[in-house]
Structure 1
Amino acid sequence: PGEEMPTRRWPVSHYAELARRLLAEGERVVILGGAGDAPIARGIVERERRVLDLTGRLPLSQTAGVMKKAAAVVTHDSGPLHLAAAVGAPLVALFGPTDPRIKFPPGDRSRLVYRGEPCSPCYDRGRFPACSHQRCLALVTPDQVMEDVARVMSRPAVVSGKTA
């Protein structure tokens, strides 16, 4: 979920909505991350109780194993993004303030979600400018991400009640 860099984090409400939709389609949803991600994971689980929260419970090697077996991994620009890419997991990568031309690990099973707002990318050598809106990620909708999840899972997307 992204406790270290809140400016790179997709809103908790969006993650919860994506989880709800995936669960409605019969998928299992697991949250992975370090112990510091637990408060964010709790925010997702509070909205969608059927999500399995493994934050802070697995060593890196087991996290990689779970990712490798996953039907899809959804994450923002972070260490887990690169871990998922390294193990060849089907990947949906959410970018906002960082530059995907530099950080996105392309692959046959990777999808990039990036709105390209006028103020983005704003990340500059380890610093973010004071950002009061985080529009670059807040405007990435669960519908958009669901479409890309369906693509990496190689099946038709169900978006807002319609097959895309």
Structure 2
Amino acid sequence: KGACSLMEHPLPLPGPYQYFLTPEQLNFGGQDSLRDYCPWVTAQAGGLGLCTDLANSVNGKYYEEFGSSARCFEVERDNVDSVGCLRHSCVSGKLFLKLGSEYVGCPVGGGEVFSTSLSITVTCPRPAEICDGYSQMAPDILVNYPVTNSIVAPE
């Protein structure tokens, strides 16, 4: 996880550095003039953003979970884009995310899933991007749960 350098400047940015083209967004850009005011993401210092580190739980958002099976996903709540640490499971090449007390199946080609209990929308990658090869890299991440209608029952 990291922090975006996007900020509102007191005056509109010079033309070549305007990355947002609507009139109300001409003042928005990155903080650093040496980077042409391009917004960029800086990793949180000291590994504070690592989803696999349980110690980060104290600073997490209400819907986040940390641990060996957690990864960073794009999350939207109230039309605000963010990222969050979520537990996941790969079962027979399919990706499931732990959203609240349930595991929700992601679309086969990637896409969005909505959690009514958490009021968040999560963007799932294609399962091949996160599931393939895990059995060799980190066998503890592969957890087999019984599957029922794309919802996987929690332990």
TM-score per shorter chain, which class? under 0.3
> Which has the larger share of helix?
1
TM-score with structure 2 length normalisation?
0.25
> Which has the larger share of strand?
2
Between 1 and 2, higher relative CO (CA 8 Å, sep ≥ 6) is seen in: 1
**Which one has a bigger Cα radius of gyration?**
2
